[in-house]
Amino acid sequence: MTLEEAQQLDAADPLAFARERFALPPGAVYLDGNSLGALPKATAARIDKTVREQWGGDLIASWNKHDWIDAPTRIAAKLAPIIGARPEELLIADSTSVCLFKLLAAAVRARPGRSTILTETGNFPTDLYVAQGMTRLWPDLRLKMVDADDIAAAIDADTAAVTLTHVNYRSGRRHDMAAINAAARAAGALSLWDLSHSAGAIALDLDGTACDLAVGCGYKYLNGGPGAPAFVFVAGPLQSELETPLPGWMGHADPFAFAAEYAPAAGMMQWLTGTPSILALAALDAGLDSFAGVAIANIEAKAAQLTGLFIDEVEVRCGAEVQLAGPRDPKTRGSQVSFAFPQGYAVMQALIARGIIGDFRAPDLMRFGFAPLYNRFADAIRAAEELADILATRSWDEPRFLARQKVT
């Protein structure tokens, strides 16, 4: 495809208006939204208002005057249509790892007599660390890891919870959420999904697929800023069954009574622990506003088109030099493409030097995360062109590109 043909696709794109909501560096092609979303133009003003007018002007009265106290649920309501859930099933709280611990521990406790947490070999490391830590807290508990294709068949009567990242962080492979949820339910187990690499980039329907539990971060495709708060999803029927393993005063039924004994708040509020970070919530609020007026079906369609175009263009232009390291079928792919190359790190550094910003995962994967809100079809063409030129000229073979850095 020529650049002109890609620009015609961009002109007809029903999501083209959303790109104007972001402050993107001139000339850059940003394909790392699966690590850190781009900055919405509204974020700086939102944080400034929260700091200067609210905190600075009204001090502690802001908890009520500016509704800080309800921010975890009020902002969660904006997330609900993006992931196919009801507002009363969601809460903004903590980090993804903390939320995962809370829900995984609650799921295990809700299935007494079962001793297995089932996950995928190669799941996101922090998810594995949380589960491993849980087995040290409860020695009778074990973590079982199987290949992605074997998950459903491995669920049995000893499985307490199945915990998976919906879109694999390395390959971009997407699990069949509905099928795994059904298999878990048939076996009496609970399903727990990490949506960090899918929320905001592809269509989700947590209620429609009978999802039990889910967590996800706010700083990738949701554009909430570095270290943005995470979210918690607990299906309505489970809210009276599960108990938080990490109670705190903000999750108390009457927090300002300061009672000595804990009594859980009703519904999702029990999953709060400590005081929410209001400044971080303000940034996430602005990030979620970037989805206003956006149809999730259009996000899904554009994600498939962008990633499919990029795969085709790279393979046509680069031949067999790079190997696709993820799904070719868009139905089993998130909004991410991974290519393997022995010197993938150096190639990615060379791309970044040319303004094509993706990232790398050892030992050889170059990752390209396409954010449908702001990435264009022309971006896919330019990235493929630059990648082909770097490989053809071996311009990656320079000391400045070969030297490893701590963060890429």
Walk me through the domains of the chain, giving residue ranges and CATH numbers: 3-40+295-402 (3.90.1150.10), 45-289 (3.40.640.10)
State the catalytic residue, choosing from 30, 101, 169, 219: 219
41 is catalytic: no
Q: What is the Cα 278 distance to its own chain's centre? A: 21
**Phi/psi at 119 (5° precision):** -145, 180
Which residues are 337's β-sheet partners?
368
194 is catalytic: yes
Which residues are 404's β-sheet partners?
none
Calpha distance 66→53 (Å, rounded):
10
State the catalytic residue, choosing from 21, 78, 174, 220: 220
Calpha distance 110→143 (Å, rounded):
17
Calpha distance 175→155 (Å, rounded):
15
What percentage of the chain has pLDDT greater than the value 70?
99
- Note the pLDDT tens digit of each residue in 303-355: 999 999 999 999 999 999 999 999 999 999 999 999 999 999 999 999 999 99
367 is catalytic: yes
- Note the pLDDT tens digit of each residue in 58-80: 999 999 999 999 999 999 999 99
Q: pLDDT-based confidence at 406, cuts 50/70/90? A: low
Q: pLDDT-based confidence at 102, cuts 50/70/90? A: very high
Which residues are 234's β-sheet partners?
213
State the catalytic residue, choosing from 174, 333, 354, 367: 367
pLDDT value at residue 404: 81
CB contact at 8 A, 78 and 289: yes
374 is catalytic: no
State the catalytic residue, choosing from 13, 94, 127, 194: 194
CB contact at 8 A, 357 and 28: yes
Conformational region of residue 113, where left means phi above 0, alpha means psi within -120 to 50, and beta covers everything else? left
Conformational region of residue 310, where left means phi above 0, alpha means psi within -120 to 50, and beta covers everything else? alpha
Q: Which DSSP state fits 331? A: G
State the catalytic residue, choosing from 22, 30, 101, 124: 124
379 is catalytic: no
Calpha distance 175→164 (Å, rounded):
8
Q: Please say if the pLDDT value at position 408 is more than 60.
A: no
CB contact at 8 A, 158 and 115: yes
Contacts of 217 (CB under 8 A, 6+ apart): 95, 96, 196, 228, 230
Helix (H, G, I), strand (E, B) or coil at 136: helix
